[in-house]
Chain A
């Protein structure tokens, strides 16, 4: 379990991470999503104790990471940039890591086989492709069979086979009750892999909810209505679970009502409709909208208004 409380990191004038509070639970894959520069890597570096928070705190399995006596058995990490000496062979890299925890050489060969690097384990890591480098990083993360996995953009540079391999591996680990925390800037990847989503933008927490809820919320239908009596119609449609936005001259965007309902309401009130259309907002659009400049959904609509 990873617990961040008011986690903040400032680099000079720039707030890279701004008061993040979240809990990453065991047994599920938690996706850490946000555009590049949202503070994902910095957050992960703070979890690993590489960067000290400006304020706030973060613990892994109840303690700051550095306070664990067997750090490799607690957390396996694959951080964004490569973390291997280019002149050393993959096997020697893993042997050096394993030595700090007294892990047997047999286990090193086991993880090498597990990530499919058996044939190249004796070669210099500097000669590895991006995908092989990622596999080596995952091998070192799995070395001590850790309770918690922290992976920064693990599918970067992997071919489709590799992507599927990671996805299955992570699902298996989560099913065993491990904490799996992985970052990505790709919504599509997250939708396939993560059970829970922590969404950040500009260092701030935007969403922390089950993936299913996020998807349900994001794909709520949006109905565009154009009518000469738009404002009268807007009053008639208003209700507790309904959002009506005046997006352009004579045009409304309605969320929470079906087009059937809107059509009947208009007919009953004798209002002429010039257009009535339903759009399914995609997950990608919901993500873009959330992480856009001004953070919440409504403001993108205001942006449309300016443009119109």
Chain B
């Protein structure tokens, strides 16, 4: 046995692949992530739930505020009011961002992924691109539709708002952008935490729990809380955010800074840690 094998090894050393293949590129990594995204029922289910949630909550708010009454909160009459479904939307889009990454770790898929793209970093960029583009397109359509439909309901009874009114485009696009960026932060948390439950808990803590806790410490706490992603988001998605709040431009910058910091931290973890 040993003689034949030694000969075979010497004769055919370095047999090359006979299947056409190309070097790994960011574009190919994106295509791979797109196939992964579209081939899971769960991604479409969660995305669909976010769209339906936005629309349903918008309709309910529109219907409930169609008549002007004396005890109505000014906030409920604002042009951004029917978009309040983003409270639910950010939860679902955030979970989607988490799952797109954490499910690779929980199922072991990540080993296949890194066998195909061992440099790892292109996977992070590809997932980020696929997630951002899809959720941005879908949630922008959802927020515009929600605004138009709910204002149509309102305008049956009282004058509603139109897209041309001041600030409306900012609320509509801002709400969509806020959800996308929250989802990006969720995805980056998942690169660092890896487990699905751990990532979800960390994400919800960052979005909901921690800023509320700061709110308990009087005005100093509230000043800190306004720099958390959810509060920074409210600064540009809500017509009359709770005081104290950042200006819309600063709010957007702060949220982007969170996303960039999360991407940087995730990249470092990805490079350094064993998979």
Query: A residues engaging B (CB < 8 A)?
Result: 25-28, 45, 48-52, 61, 65-66, 68-73, 75, 77, 79, 81-89, 92-93, 95-97, 99-104, 107, 140, 143-147, 174-178, 195-196, 210-213
Nearest CB of A to B162, in Å: 42
A100 partner, pick from B12, B19, B24, B103, beta carbons under 8 A: B24
Contact A87 to B15, CB < 8 A, known contacts A96-B36, A100-B116: no
Instruction: Give which listed residue, A25, A66, A145, A195, contacts B1 with CB less than 8 A.
Output: A195
**Chain A minimum-CB-distance residue to B29:** A100
Query: How far, in angstroms, from A191 to B108 measured CA to CA in the complex?
Result: 30
* Residues 30 to 63 of chain B near chain A (Cβ within 8 Å): 31-33, 35-36, 39-42
User: Which of the candidate stretches B3-11, B134-142, B168-176 sits at the interface with the other chain?
Assistant: B3-11
How long is the Cα–Cα vector from A142 to B12 in the complex, in angstroms?
19
B117 A73 Cβ-Cβ under 8 A? no
Is A84 in contact with B109, judged by CB distance below 8 angstroms? yes
**Residue B69 CB within 8 A of the other chain:** no
Partner of A48, one of B13, B20, B103, B115: B115
Contact of B40 among A26, A71, A87, A147 (CB under 8 A): A87
Is B16 a contact of A147 with CB atoms below 8 Å? yes
Considering only CB atoms, which chain A residue lies closest to B33 in the complex?
A: A96
B275 adjacent to chain A (CB < 8 Å): yes
- A178 proximity list for chain B (CB < 8 A): 15
Q: How many A-B residue pairs have CB under 8 A?
A: 170
Q: What's the Cα separation between A140 and B8 when bound, in Å?
A: 26
Q: How far is the CA of A72 from the CA of B12 in the complex (A)?
A: 20
Complex Cα distance, B31 from A146, in Å, reads 21
12 pairs, CB–CB < 8 Å, chain A vs chain B = A28-B9, A50-B111, A61-B14, A71-B117, A77-B115, A96-B32, A99-B31, A100-B117, A101-B28, A107-B20, A177-B9, A212-B2
Tell whether, in the assembled complex, residue A85 and residue B40 are in contact, meaning their CB atoms are under 8 Å apart.
Answer: yes
| Complex: A98 Cα to B20 Cα, angstroms | 11
Which 4 pairs of residues, A with B, have the shortest CB-CB distance? A177-B12, A27-B9, A102-B22, A177-B15
Partner of B115 from A71, A86, A103, A195 at Cβ < 8 Å: A71
Q: Are A104 and B20 in contact (CB under 8 A)?
A: yes
Q: Say how far B268's CB is from chain A's closest CB, in angstroms.
A: 14
Q: How many of chain B's residues touch chain A, expressed as a range?
A: 35 or more
B67 an interface residue at 8 Å Cβ cutoff? no
Q: Please, what's the 1-or-0 string for B79-110, where 1 marks a CB less than 8 Å from any CB in chain A?
A: 00000000000000000000000011001111
B119 contacts which chain A residues (CB < 8 A)? 66
Complex interface: chain A residues within 8 A of B114 (CB): 48-50
Cβ B24 vs Cβ A82 within 8 A: no
Contact of A84 among B40, B41, B108 (CB under 8 A): B108
> B14 and A83: CB pair below 8 A?
no
Given A97-B116, A210-B2; A82-B12 close (CB under 8 Å) = no
Q: How far is the CB of A97 from chain B (nearest CB, A)?
A: 5
Contact of B28 among A61, A84, A99, A177 (CB under 8 A): A99
- How far apart are B176's CB and chain A's nearest CB, in angstroms? 27
CB-based contact B2/A25 at 8 Å: no
Taking A88-B40, A145-B18 as given, write out 17 further A-B residue pairs in contact, using a Cβ cutoff of 8 Å, ordered by the A residue number. Answer: A26-B13, A27-B8, A69-B24, A70-B21, A73-B17, A82-B108, A83-B115, A87-B41, A89-B39, A92-B36, A95-B39, A97-B116, A99-B35, A100-B117, A176-B15, A177-B15, A212-B2
Q: B274 at interface (Cβ–Cβ under 8 A)?
A: yes
Contacts A48-B118, A51-B274 given; does A28 touch B5 at CB 8 Å:
yes
Closest beta carbon of chain A to B236's beta carbon, Å: 35
Contacts of A81 in B (CB 8 A): 108, 111
Task: Assess whether A210 is in contact with B1, with CB atoms less than 8 Å apart.
Answer: yes
Contact of B112 with A by CB under 8 A:
yes
Bound complex: CA A61 to CA B17 (Å): 13
Which chain A residues border B22 with CB–CB below 8 Å?
A: 70, 101-102
